[in-house]
Amino acid sequence: MRYIKDEIAMHHRLTLVDSPDQADLQLSGVVRLAIQGPINFNTAYEPTTYRNSVTVSAVLKDLHTKKIIWSTTRVGGGQHVPVVATNVVTTTPSFLQQNLRSGDIAQMTDIQVAQTQTAAGRDLMMQRFAKSLYVEMAEGF
């Protein structure tokens, strides 16, 4: 929800409220799929890259008329996540947005690399997902 709220607030087209009693519209949804699975392996068949994916169904409802003004059954996002130091490309924009330097990766244990890159990949995926949801929703009305 944090990513969706941030995306909606960034466009200044709608105002987010804390109470449903103050709302004119209500965005609700259901996560249909959320997976993380390995997609690349090294010679020992250990995962080196994972793919995170999320798919959601969503509805935007006018609370005054009780009518659905927009809906989707399938909006999603995905992100490839390198989980070993040798697969992390430290010159990509997504890496450069992190609070890490290339030398930091070389000093980390495998589990630290996996955890930091998984978290960063999930954040990027959710930002892209929220943007896709907003664009689709904004075009719908």
Decide: residue 90, CB within 10 A, 0-12 exposed, 13-18 middle, 19+ buried: middle
Cβ–Cβ < 8 Å for 42, 78: no
Residue type at 80 in one-letter notation: H
- Treating both helix axes as pointing N-terminal to C-terminal, what angle do 110-140 and 2-11 enclose, rounded to 10 degrees? 50
Structural domain span for residue 60:
2-140
Q: How does pLDDT run along the chain (141 residues), one tens digit per residue?
A: 899 999 999 999 989 998 888 999 999 999 999 999 999 998 989 899 999 999 999 999 999 999 999 999 989 889 888 888 777 777 777 776 777 777 788 888 888 888 888 888 899 899 999 999 999 998 866
Give the integer Cα–Cα distance in Å for 64 and 126: 30
Looking at residue 9, its pLDDT comes to 93
| Domain count across the chain | 1
Looking at residue 140, its pLDDT comes to 66
Q: What is the pTM of this model?
A: 0.80
What's the CATH code of the domain at 63? Answer: 3.30.160.150
